Structure 1
Amino acid sequence: MARFILNETSYFGKGCRVELANEILARGYKKGLLVSDNILAECGVLTKVKKVLDDANISYDTFTEIKQNPTIKNCKDGLAAYNKAEADFIIAVGGGSVIDTAKAIGITKNNPEFEDIKSLEGVANTKNKSVPIIALPTTCGTAAEVTINYVITVEEENRKIVCVDPKDIPIVAIVDAELMMTLPPRTIASTGMDALTHAIEGYITKGANTISDMFEIKAIEMIAKHLRGAVKDQNSIDMEGMSLAQYIAGMGFSNVGLGIVHSMAHPLGAIYDIPHGVANALLLPIVMEFNMSACIEKYCDIAKAMGVDINGLSKEEAAKAAVNAVRQLAIDVSIPQTLREINIPKEGIPKLSIDALNDVCTGGNPKDVTLEDIKKLYHIAY
């Protein structure tokens, strides 16, 4: 049996943020909490969204105190801001960190027994839907606007918790590539590789099915086509392509799960504050090599989607070509290739490995793993 959960409504295309006001007015909402971060406020992206709200005389308060790896404190502060505003809906403008925080705010507002946040880890037994969330992504990678997942850092334990809850999905997603145009190249690269990791892990995970495969293989094809150009000059065609590709990848993986690339990336973010996309991109080809024997047929599909001509190649050769294509894309967009480059101490590997093994994504990996397997992969990455 397979289950698929998607947004109630989604908009795509240059300038589609104008639909934000129409959705709010049509639904009869009275006052919003605009959740974002200080970087987006400083670079002018938030101003573009505020103009839509102001022109329509929509009332809102603003909350922007969110870290790149959001913490329990960020979520609790956001809930306090929501209550103080006496809001009845949330507008989330940002990348995964912002939208994940908005999900935690929305869920805990309507399920106060989970206000500690930690109890939401895994598949939480919440009873009520989140307060309404309208999500406007500003990065081309996380797809948080269409997923049922969110990730929060427990600072005192130096670990991330992955929360999975169908009740947290935003009711409206507004995917406007214009909101992504001011991103620095390094952020386009890391979030774009995050989207590729979502697509590849979603394609080979144990839970994959015909519907999710359809989304993921298309997302891989689009990312291979558009990411280099988006990083190089942020041209509108490639940015539009990436904005759509990351959403398509999210439609799939949200419903079928991920694997140990994410399991291993999460503690890198929790302990060392490494951007999630960088961690995923660095680990992806290494983990693909480990998983190859468990899904060699699908690797051939990945190779073709990455633009590799596999005519005349054996399955093993085509699979290796898929890994090489992914690694080359990461290199082309200037992703670090070793943990040493991002200042991860070798003595940190034992804790990283334990946390990765216990991560909720580990069970979805196409190949079963042990603690020693994960340690070895971290050492390869080092």
Structure 2
Amino acid sequence: MKALRFNGDVLVTGANSMEYLKKIKYNKAFIVTGGQSMFKSGVINKVKEYLGNDEERIFVYSGIGKNPTTEEVKKGIESIKKFEPDLVVAVGGGSPIDAAKIIALIYEYPELNVETLTKSILPEKRYKTKFVAIPSTSGTASEVTNVSVLTYEDINLKLGIKSPSLRPDIAILDGNIPMTLPYNIAAETGMDALTHAIEAYINKTSDDFTEVLAKGAIEGLIEWLPISCNNKDIESRQKVHNYQSMAGMAFSNSGLGMVHGISHAFGGKYNLAHGLTNAIILPYAMKYNSRDKEVFKKFEKLSTAVGFNIIEKVESLNKELGIAGCIKDAGISEEDFNRDYDLLVENSMCGSTVANPIKIDIEVMKKLVKTVYNGTEIDY
């Protein structure tokens, strides 16, 4: 028996779908967002407008970075406790949505501690707030998942926190919002989504439902991501927005793999963008995992579907989108890498690496970490 859940109560999609906010009844709304992009683009003002523009009933907590930290979340918890809302609206990339998940959870369950969330048994539901997620980037699919990723600065590591109570109640996929994404962010977040879809598709716990969602997302992203980056038109941006959410629905049920384990190690240490590190690591992990017979067969199916060898296609897509070929080319110096190597290896063994189709031991990980940093061939 397997219990599957693909999103919260409602998923609203399409251009101008943010107007759905007008239908939500609330007493006080707590909006969580990142830096300035959602203000400059006018999205925050739109959210306020659709919620009624009542300043006494709306509070905006901003400043969540690209890799949300425990300190940013703690400050948000302090603010939400003072404001006492019954509606939480997360607007922006995966980072503010992930942060808002934890802020809303601990607001309702103050006995929980941010530092010990990864080791705690978390509540199954929230009752105090309605939670709306409005993504501005097309990658993390945090709007439909039961996962939040936080950076624990004391250990230089990004850790995933899982619970059904973290899944937003309402997801709004408004294609107008990612229209403002610059080329590199659209490319990196899109490759993040492709990583989610591929790792979900080859995961050993994948099932009929997640396989179809993941495979559909892979085919859709390979076709529409380059168009979205280059043309920046509403059709392609909405398509990528939808496909990335499908990838999230798949991986939140099936799990991921070592791309995310290694990515979180590098991202947590060097504050690299998550989509960028995933994109860099993905083809190396695909090559290594293809030695598994089941994975190899699935890659053959994907190759037939897209008309190219799927691993070569991912590599060429990275090049086409201007993604660095290795972590070194992303700006991490050899001095820093050599100094931090043992920590990176240790941290890469954590998180989603344990769910990789091929079990990875420490000796193999030592080689993999060097491979993705230097961009060398996998010959082991």
Unaligned 5+ runs, structure 2: 375-380
1:89 aligns with 2:87: yes
| Structure 1 residue ranges without an equivalent (≥5) | 310-320
Q: Which residue matches 2:331? A: 343
CA distance in 1, matches of 2:232, 2:4: 33
- CA shift, 1:279, in A, is 0.3
> In structure 1, what is the equivalent of residue 296 of structure 2?
296
Structure 1: distance between partners of 2:61 and 2:51: 15
Q: Distance in 2 between matches of 1:233 and 1:51?
A: 30
Cα distance 1:56–1:225, how it changes in 2: closer, same or farther (>3 A)? farther
Q: In 2 relative to 1, CA 127–195 (structure 1 residues): closer, same or farther, beyond 3 Å? A: closer
In structure 1, distance between residues paired with 2:368 and 2:46: 43
Deviation at 1:196, TM superposition (A): 0.1
Aligned to 1:261: 259
How much does 1:238 deviate? 0.9
Q: CA offset at residue 109 of structure 1?
A: 1.3
Map of 1:171-250 to 2, 5 A cutoff? Answer: 171-250=169-248
- 1:177 is paired with a residue of what secondary structure? coil
What is the RMSD computed on CA atoms of the aligned residues? 1.6
Are 2:138 and 1:134 equivalent residues in the alignment? no
Contact preservation (8 Å) 2:140, 2:192? yes
Q: Give the alignment partner of residue 32 of structure 1, picking from 29, 32, 51.
A: 29
CA contact (8 A) 1:53 1:59 kept: no
Cα distance, 1:123–1:147 mapped onto 2, change above 3 Å: farther
1:8 matched to which residue of 2?
A: 9
Q: CA deviation at 1:48?
A: 2.6
Aligned residue pair count: 364
Query: Partner amino acid for 1:177?
Result: G
Q: Alignment partner for residue 323 of structure 1, among 305, 311, 320? A: 311
Residue in structure 1 matched with residue 346 of structure 2 by the alignment: 354
Are the equivalent residues in 2 in contact too, given 1:91–1:134 (CA < 8 A)? yes
Give me the whole-angstrom Cα distance separating, in 2, the residues matched to 1:304 and 1:122. 42
How far residue 175 of structure 1 moved from its aligned partner, in angstroms, is: 0.5
The alignment-based identity, stated in percent, is 32
Q: Is the 8 A contact 1:12 1:174 kept in 2?
A: yes
- 1:43 positional shift: 3.4
- The alpha-carbon deviation at position 129 of structure 1 amounts to 2.1
Q: Is the 8 A contact 1:8 1:171 kept in 2?
A: yes
Change (3 A) 1:117 1:193: same
Structure 1 position 304, deviation (Å)? 3.0
The separation in 1 between residues aligned to 2:56 and 2:216, in whole angstroms, is: 37
Distance 1:127 1:171, change over 3 A: closer
Q: Output the TM-score relative to the length of structure 2.
A: 0.92
Is the counterpart of residue 377 in structure 1 residue 355 in structure 2? no
The residue that corresponds to 1:308 in the other structure is: 307
